[in-house]
Amino acid sequence: MLELQHVTRVFGPTRAVDDVSFLVPKGSVFGYIGPNGAGKTTSMRILATLELPTSGDAFVEGLSSVNDPDRVRRRLGFMPDHFSTYSDTSCAEYLDFFARSNGLVGRERTRRMRWVMDFTGLRAMAEKPINGLSKGMRQRLCLGRALIHDPSVLILDEPAAGLDPRARIELRQIIRSLAAEGKTILVSSHILSELAEICDRVGIIEQGRLLANDTVSALRMKSQFHQDLIILIDGPTDGALDSLSQLPCVSDVRCTDQTISFRVEGGPSKQIQVLHHLCDARVPVMEYRVVDESLEDLFMKLTSGHVQ
């Protein structure tokens, strides 16, 4: 449904997007994450036909955004990170303008406006001036504009930026509802914990290069070569600390009361070896568990913090 094929975008000496390829299947949510200046917005603008790639191509439902932009736009809704409004314009007038711009007429235009306002919760705000809306309602209005022509693909650039907790939760529910209806969604956000909850896959980009493209659980599995663990000891911890110090695969050992945290290098087999070693040394281990890594943890592991 949505694909980048070896897309590169160069601005002078800067390669904003550097040979990026990924595919988003129909009805799925793809989280696109990276630091500011990583190339997220540029590649999203290329998909949305607002930017031409230096090389490569982007496709929506098999149509090239470079060679067939008009047909792509009919299938795609784009929600930018910042959008302009018109002074003294109500929500209904704003949506009506974009419905007409997308060629909707008569009953079809009325039907789509009614559906969008109901779906985004803007019905009570229909006659309210846009300038009087809260940040959350303005984001809903921008999403409504992207949905007005019933696109099969949505590109959402930082839709949750500046929203309060309730508005973020409601937006997350809206995104999952749209995916359940079969729409394909590409969403970027700096709120990684929320992306982990709604995304089927994530792509991590830094300095224009795609570093990872997988499910969150698969990324966790790949990162287990360096895994943090915690053990709880019944009694003094001296024996456990001595045993752990004998293992070259163990590092970063920290002890607080009867709890010891440490890092194991070498994957699951080494983690099993550590447990056997502690048992052989008759260390009274009450609990032995892996520290679950969040998407933020994976992001920090995979990226270096460099910007262009």
**Residues with Cβ within 8 Å of residue 137, at least 6 apart in sequence:** 122, 125
DSSP lists the bridge partners of residue 186 as: 30, 155
Instruction: Provide the whole-model pTM.
Output: 0.77
What per-residue confidence (pLDDT) applies to 49? 95
Give tens-digit pLDDT for 241-267: 999 999 999 988 999 889 999 988 877
Judge if 45 and 108 occupy the same domain.
yes
Token digits of residue 227: 């895994």
Mean pLDDT calculated for residue range 277-305: 81
What per-residue confidence (pLDDT) applies to 308? 61
What per-residue confidence (pLDDT) applies to 300? 73
Last residue of one domain, picked from the residues 214, 229, 247: 214
83-100: b (≥16 Cβ within 10 Å) or e: eeeeeeebbbebbbebbe
Judge if 229 and 289 occupy the same domain.
yes
223 band by pLDDT with thresholds 50, 70 and 90 = low
Give tens-digit pLDDT for 159-193: 887 788 888 888 888 999 999 999 999 999 877 87
Mean pLDDT calculated for residue range 210-226: 76
Judge if 44 and 108 occupy the same domain.
yes
290 band by pLDDT with thresholds 50, 70 and 90 = confident
Mean pLDDT calculated for residue range 280-286: 92
Give tens-digit pLDDT for 7-52: 999 999 999 999 999 999 999 999 998 888 889 999 999 999 999 9
Output 132 or 76, whichever has higher pLDDT: 76
CATH code, 243: 3.30.70.980
Query: Which structural domain, as residue segments, surrounds residue 29?
Result: 2-214
Mean pLDDT calculated for residue range 195-221: 85
Judge if 54 and 198 occupy the same domain.
yes
Is residue 305 included in any domain, yes or no? no
Residue with tokens 């509802």: 177
What's the structural domain count of the chain? 2
